[in-house]
Chains A and B, each alone.
Chain A
Amino acid sequence: MAEMTFLEARNRAITEAMEANDRAIIIGGFGGPGAPEGGYAKAFGAQRVRSTPISEEGYGGIAVGASLFGLRPIVTFSNASFMFDAWEPVLNEAALLRYMSGGQFQAPIVFHMLIGLRAGWAAQHSQTSHAMLCNAPGLVVVAPGTPAGAYEMMRTAVASNDPVVFVDSPTLHRETGEVAVGAGVRPARAKVLRSGTDVTVVAVSAMAPRALRVAERLAGEGISVEVVDPQVISPLDRSGILESVARTGHLVAVDEGQLSCGVASEIVGSVAEHGYDLLKSAPRRVAIPDVPVPPGPTQIEVVTPNESRIEAAIRAALD
């Protein structure tokens, strides 16, 4: 075990993938793990680390074609907003070619993108599109909330033969934690980050450390919160979440995405459908309240799934 930040853990997994397989390449725009300042170009050379013009659909499609014929690209779109320009190769090609070819072709790709609300960036740089991508069978979407999860999910993503979207958040990058470096690739499943008995909080991506801080505070009041990091949001580990709800009887789902048709909605819907008898109170969702993300500090505060909203939802569930 080694203590490292989320960013170090994620980059460690990418470095290991690049070292282990000379067919692994990085393609992408500025700011992602392929950015020249990330050191990958220096370590692995310009042949395998491709800084691109701003052509998301073009390099996204190139990555898909390359993956069909032997490469294992890690594609960095930087901000999730920019991946909209590559919807065609991600959703129409990578996600569907295995299925539409009757299982002949596979597209082993990692599509990396950043989500997360930050003051000053405004709605066009604050898209949280991860739930939309969960609506595309054939794609896997991972969204870990801890350094250990970043390492493990990136390793699983590069090891699998599927197109995997790695949802990242800049607000997670400095979080620190223990990482089992070099451990074997394990099946990706929901992970209990903190055990509790009173309420289950399922927290996606950067919501995990927020939920852990709330849980710590409420423990002082004698409220025992179990925090679950789903790690994979599509396909969702429903049984892992249901096991936790079976222990606590109460559910709060937290996601830094839009409320309607979002990941929190899917978690609540799944538990309501498959675990209705486990619930002792109505499940709660904490998410962006279906508004575009404003840039100013006073306005962004009221739409962010922050600690006070998570705490309020827990109290409401237990009320």
Chain B
Amino acid sequence: MSIPHDRLVPLLESMLLMRRVEETCCELGPQQVFGNYHVYFGQEATGASVLSMIRPEDPVFTTHRCHAHALARGIPVEQVIGELLLRGSGASKGKGGTQHIMSLERRTVATSIVGGSTSMATGAALAAQVAGEDWIAVAFLGDRSMAEGVVPEVFNLAGLWDLPVLYVCENNFWGPTYEPRRSNLNISALTALPETYGVRAVAVEAVDMSVVYPVAEELVEYVRRERHPAFLEARTPGWPGRSGGENPSLDVTGLTDLDHAWNPPADDPIKGWHDADPLLHMVRLVVNEGAASKDEILQMDRTVQERVAKAAEAAIAAPFPPAVDAFADILGGGDLWPK
């Protein structure tokens, strides 16, 4: 066990917040969350561990699947849900939506263009190098973005220029028979691509925090120390609720019941999911390590759920931004440019 003992409960709380917000997103559903929403079930151990090691000054670039990353960066849950509902109270003032939750204060950028996070994070690492700053940049990307041409382009440049950037590839189609989908990439392993360009690359099964945390920590420290790029492939379990396609609901899985960590349901139709769920693994780990009792965890969960429910109520009650703001924040040059 190489997770600092005092980190266990905060990591669990971070994962719980991610889980309960995504469940709330699914419950609000496409009638209230405009656009296609992309949820983070099963990936919590990855985002929670990596972002717990990232400093406030480190720029983070996330993707269309950004809700949980935004939360782990400290963007208030009210602003995250507000943005899902396109309210003026949202993190991006209702002009980004579910796929673009951003915060300058939290140095967090989101793009829904697949591959875009990798090139921009590499640029933020260049900014650190040119300015002589000691921060590093982080890009989250999905496994399918690895087929975009820009991804090897920036692996090449990051390697050539020794840029301090960590690429966190969340391979969220992982299952017991993991292999890169032939329909997506004709390579033996996702790590082969960054390795070809001299980017240090490690794959990890991101189910059990005690496994993923030390690998993430090693890579984060490598990038900080060596000022050179690294790539983490986090193989995260597939969530059965996704089989429904876009805008998933909780019809298949229901709300997460933490009691399943100790009392698995009998004749469970989604036993594979419950066996692999990183949140249930984390709950057991925290108890086994003596960082919190079962009752304390259930109390923490109730508190998180109340906080999320209150944030959702506030977001629903908040007004949409004024229509006239459609014309705001296009250019910043003021009088320099013609009107």
Residue A226 interfacial (CB < 8 Å)? no
Question: What residues of chain B lie closer than 8 Å to A161, measured between beta carbons?
Answer: 332-333
Q: Is the CB of A57 within 8 A of B119?
A: yes
Q: How far is the CB of A225 from chain B (nearest CB, A)?
A: 23
Contact A62 to B339, CB < 8 A, known contacts A68-B59, A99-B330, A101-B109: no
**A23: nearest chain-B partner, CB-CB:** B131
Q: Is the CB of A67 within 8 A of B333?
A: no
Residue B6 interfacial (CB < 8 Å)? no
When the two chains form the complex, which single residue of B91, B109, B118 contacts A68, counting CB atoms closer than 8 Å? B109
When the two chains form the complex, which single residue of A48, A64, A138 contacts B123, counting CB atoms closer than 8 Å? A64
**A88: nearest chain-B partner, CB-CB:** B113
Q: How far is the CB of B28 from chain A (nearest CB, A)?
A: 21
Taken together as a complex, chains A and B put the C-alpha atoms of A58 and B149 apart, in Å, by 9
Q: Is the CB of B100 within 8 A of A101?
A: yes
Contact A62 to B126, CB < 8 A, known contacts A57-B150, A235-B338: yes
Question: What residues of chain A lie closer than 8 Å to B131, measured between beta carbons?
Answer: 23, 70-71
Question: What residues of chain A lie closer than 8 Å to B130, measured between beta carbons?
Answer: 23, 25, 47-48, 66, 71
Question: What residues of chain B lie closer than 8 Å to A185, measured between beta carbons?
Answer: 336
Question: What residues of chain B lie closer than 8 Å to A59, measured between beta carbons?
Answer: 153, 157
Q: Is the CB of A101 within 8 A of B333?
A: no
Q: Is the CB of B336 within 8 A of A101?
A: no
Q: Is the CB of B111 within 8 A of A60?
A: no
Stretch at the interface among A103-111, A114-122, A173-181, A274-282: A103-111
Q: How far is the CB of A271 from chain B (nearest CB, A)?
A: 15
Taken together as a complex, chains A and B put the C-alpha atoms of A65 and B61 apart, in Å, by 9
Taken together as a complex, chains A and B put the C-alpha atoms of A69 and B57 apart, in Å, by 10
Residue B62 interfacial (CB < 8 Å)? no
Question: What residues of chain B lie closer than 8 Å to A137, measured between beta carbons?
Answer: 330
Interface size class of B (residues with CB under 8 A): 35 or more
Q: How far is the CB of B17 from chain A (nearest CB, A)?
A: 22
Taken together as a complex, chains A and B put the C-alpha atoms of A101 and B110 apart, in Å, by 9
Q: Is the CB of B103 within 8 A of A104?
A: yes
**A27: nearest chain-B partner, CB-CB:** B126
Q: Is the CB of A62 within 8 A of B154?
A: yes
Q: How far is the CB of B152 from chain A (nearest CB, A)?
A: 8
Task: List CB contacts (< 8 Å) of A109-138 with chain B.
Answer: 137-138
Q: Is the CB of B336 within 8 A of A65?
A: no
Q: Mark A159-189, 1 if CB is under 8 A from B, else 0.
A: 1111000000000000000000000010111
> Would you list 7 pairs from A and B whose C-beta atoms are within 8 A, ordered by A residue?
A23-B130, A23-B131, A62-B122, A65-B126, A69-B128, A93-B120, A99-B329
Q: Is the CB of A61 within 8 A of B329?
A: no
Residue B127 interfacial (CB < 8 Å)? yes
Q: Is the CB of A102 within 8 A of B329?
A: yes
Q: Mark A225-262, 1 if CB is under 8 A from B, else 0.
A: 00000001001111110000000000000000000000
Taken together as a complex, chains A and B put the C-alpha atoms of A158 and B315 apart, in Å, by 40
Taken together as a complex, chains A and B put the C-alpha atoms of A161 and B332 apart, in Å, by 6
Question: What residues of chain A lie closer than 8 Å to B150, measured between beta carbons?
Answer: 57-58, 61, 88
Residue B124 interfacial (CB < 8 Å)? yes
Contact A240 to B120, CB < 8 A, known contacts A92-B113, A102-B92, A102-B96: no
Question: What residues of chain A lie closer than 8 Å to B335, measured between beta carbons?
Answer: 187
Taken together as a complex, chains A and B put the C-alpha atoms of A101 and B112 apart, in Å, by 13
Question: What residues of chain A lie closer than 8 Å to B149, measured between beta carbons?
Answer: 57
A-B residue pairs, 3 tightest by C-beta: A61-B119, A65-B123, A102-B93
Taken together as a complex, chains A and B put the C-alpha atoms of A138 and B333 apart, in Å, by 10
**A53: nearest chain-B partner, CB-CB:** B156
Residue B116 interfacial (CB < 8 Å)? yes
Residue A195 interfacial (CB < 8 Å)? no
